[in-house]
Amino acid sequence: MSGLSVNDVTKKFGSFAAVDRVQLDVPQGTFVCLLGPSGCGKTTLLRMIAGLEVPTSGAIVLDGQDITQVPTHKRNLGMVFQSLALFPHLSVGDNIAYALRIRSASKAAQKARVDELLTMIHLDGFADRPVAKLSGGQRQRVAIARALALSPKLFLLDEPLSALDAKLREAMQVELRQLQQQLGITTIVVTHDQREAMTMADLVVVMGQGKIRQAAPPIDIYRQPADSFVADFIGSTNLLELRADSTGRATIFGQPVAGLSLPDELTRAPLSVRPEDVHVTAPGHGTIDGTVTFVRDLGGTIETFVQVGDKTIVAVATPRERPDVKAGQSVGVSLPAASCVVLRS
Amino acid sequence: MRRERPQSFADYTPLFFPGLMLVVFFVVPFSTMIAVSFFRRDPTGFYTRDFVFDNYARFLSTFFGGVLGFSLLLAIGVAICCVLIAFPFTYLLTQRPRRVQTLWLVGLLSVLSLSEVIIGFAWSTLLSRTAGITNLFVWLGLMEAPVALLPSVWAVLIGMVYQALPYTILVLYPALIRLDPTLLEAARTLGASPVRAFLNVVTPALRNTLVATVIMVFVFALGSYLLPQILGRPQHWTLSVLITDQAIYQSNMPFAAAMAVFLVLISLALVGLTLMIGRRENAT
């Protein structure tokens, strides 16, 4: 198979399994985001793919060749580190040319490739500048160019944008995605920022406690989260509990909900419904009734917090459909069955 | 962060204590030494106040010039040997688990508790014919008969490297432990083998530290005067030995002072030259 396969890989540090029996197939040219909270094993997985850590068991296969035991410097990959790890004693051009110099490319070939890469990252004429004189965004680009100098088979990035401010980060996400599509290179990015993953990825891999919780295209992850961990991690969501009443009907807060059923004879299961799918209506007209505790009007969106039982349900509306409610008011909350996702616990 | 310049007299008060210490323990003795170097020696007594250049003139002979040259070469040799051994060693040490590092560092610190005299006599035993390491080589079949490895310039060098090595490691350790490990990993992902990455990433990134360490060991080795006497022949005696000899046994304080001043000036010049070369390379 063309592409990268991670076959049943485990990495243990002492008795702690940082990565626990991970199975992942990445077709050639795919943009993958490894997403998860800190300590979920995503960086360890990336480092194993890079060869900077050796798996305790399992195999890593690139284009049909088992590279598990191949040392990093023979793997033909490009990697961008969280700290960027630009060589402080070298100029921008020498940083980018490092991989070419290691392979004893001619001076002319080095210069040509450096110029080509500098054009690609919009930093023409920066070759002779010291790295220390660059801004955060410029260093970022240089680190990317350096990693791509040899046109590697695999492009790995470990939280590459975390050092940038919010605005620049969003711009770089788009740029990185466009660059990846232009080059068609298999790319794996580690991030804890779900917006970043949604922006860039073809395939989002959500990890938790060393395991893959769900691997799917971004919109599927958002619309059909596999479990409450994924639902909670991707975007904000209302996590409610679906219960079976004495007659076997599915209920929320004791109210039967048409169109929903509990899977596999269970009596209770978590249920996720996105805030933008929740609508505030007049009392008695929704699925359940509750009391408004707070209204956060952000201009672009309006968030209404409704207390139902011991839970607070958040509804997000656009200004066009602005609900005319105040804190303390009784309202109905409508939860469309089509938007409710019953989760594995 | 931009610091404000001191505004009032009161802002300078924290400088008083270090300033005072510097005056009492450095400026006063050093000035005294410079003054004494111009005094005239009184063979019957100590010295008489005067302003003559005799002491400096006497120094400018082939004999003292040779001793000065030997002292500088020896110190440079010790500095280079120390850094060549300590740099890879300390680098490998920083790659070990914390506990291993602590054990090594405690061991190295304990070497510092040995006095120069003990180090000198320990090495003179180790390098001797009767009880030295050559006996071990004979036992292993590497040599025909045990030989004495001292007194010799190599014995002096070994003793001084042994003495200065712990300092070198302790100076290099903080810089190496703070070095971003991803620099090396980045080099490896770009196709450099670990040894190559060490040579063309770690070494240049720490060049200023290395230069500073060479200077420190150089100055340290320049002051050594016991080991050359224990491990070397009289022609391996350094200027420090001669200064001690003149000051204590010949009671020729002015001449000793003149030699000391000369030694300080030459070392300062060498240190300055090293820094200048370092800066020029940095600029390119």
* pLDDT tens-digit map of A287-299: 888 999 999 988 8
What integer is the mean pLDDT of A214-224?
A: 90
pLDDT at B128: 83
What is the ipTM score, two decimals? Answer: 0.79
pLDDT at B45: 65
* pLDDT tens-digit map of A190-210: 998 888 888 899 999 999 888
A46 versus A268: which is more confidently predicted?
A: A46
User: Which among A53, A74, A77, A102 is the top mutation candidate for probing chain B, defined by the most B β-carbons within 10 Å of its own β-carbon?
Assistant: A102
Position A234 confidence tier, pLDDT thresholds 50, 70, 90: confident
Start-to-end Cα distance in chain B: 27
Structural domains in chain A?
A: 3-229 (3.40.50.300), 236-342 (2.40.50.140)
Residues of A in contact with B186 (CB under 8 A): 79, 81, 85-87, 146
Give the whole-angstrom CA distance, residue B221 versus residue B212: 14
pLDDT at B3: 67
- Which among A78, A86, A88 has CB closest to B189? A78
Q: Phi/psi at B90 (nearest 5 deg)?
A: -65, -35
Structural domains in chain B?
A: 62-283 (1.10.3720.10)
Residues of B in contact with A157 (CB under 8 A): none
DSSP state for residue B247 in the 8-state scheme = I
Q: How far is A301 from chain B (nearest CA, A)?
A: 39
Quick one: closest CA in B to A99, which residue? B190
pLDDT at A1: 59
User: Which among A67, A70, A72, A162 is the top mutation candidate for probing chain B, defined by the most B β-carbons within 10 Å of its own β-carbon?
Assistant: A72
Cβ–Cβ contact A150 with B under 8 A: yes
Is A81 in Cβ contact with B185 (below 8 Å)?
yes
The tally of CA atoms less than 13 A away on the side-chain side of residue A64 is 2
- Most confident segment among A82-86, A233-237, A253-257: A82-86
The helix or strand, by DSSP H or E, that contains position A180, with its residue range, turns out to be helix A166-183
Is B180 in Cβ contact with A89 (below 8 Å)?
no
Return the percentage of chain A with pLDDT > 90, whole number: 26
Digits of tens for pLDDT over chain B (284 positions)?
Answer: 556 777 777 778 888 898 999 999 988 988 888 888 888 777 766 777 777 777 777 777 778 788 888 888 999 999 999 999 999 999 999 888 889 999 999 998 888 888 888 988 898 888 888 877 888 888 887 777 777 777 888 888 999 999 999 999 999 999 898 888 888 889 998 888 888 888 888 888 888 888 889 988 988 888 888 888 888 888 888 888 888 888 888 778 888 888 888 888 888 888 888 878 777 665 54
Q: Where are the alpha helices (DSSP H) in chain B?
A: 16-22, 28-36, 54-59, 62-94, 98-112, 116-126, 133-140, 153-178, 181-189, 194-197, 203-205, 207-222, 227-231, 239-244, 253-283
A301 versus B8: which is more confidently predicted?
A: A301
Cβ–Cβ contact A147 with B under 8 A: yes
Strand pairing category for A330-334 and A279-281: antiparallel
pLDDT at B284: 45
Return the percentage of chain A with pLDDT > 70, whole number: 99
Q: How far is B75 from chain A (nearest CA, A)?
A: 29
B window 200-229, beta carbon within 8 A of A: 201, 204-205, 207
Q: How far is B180 from chain A (nearest CA, A)?
A: 8
Position A155 confidence tier, pLDDT thresholds 50, 70, 90: very high
Residues of B in contact with A110 (CB under 8 A): none
Is A82 in Cβ contact with B182 (below 8 Å)?
yes
The token duo for B274 is 């090293």
Contact at 8 Å (CB) between A290 and A307? Answer: yes
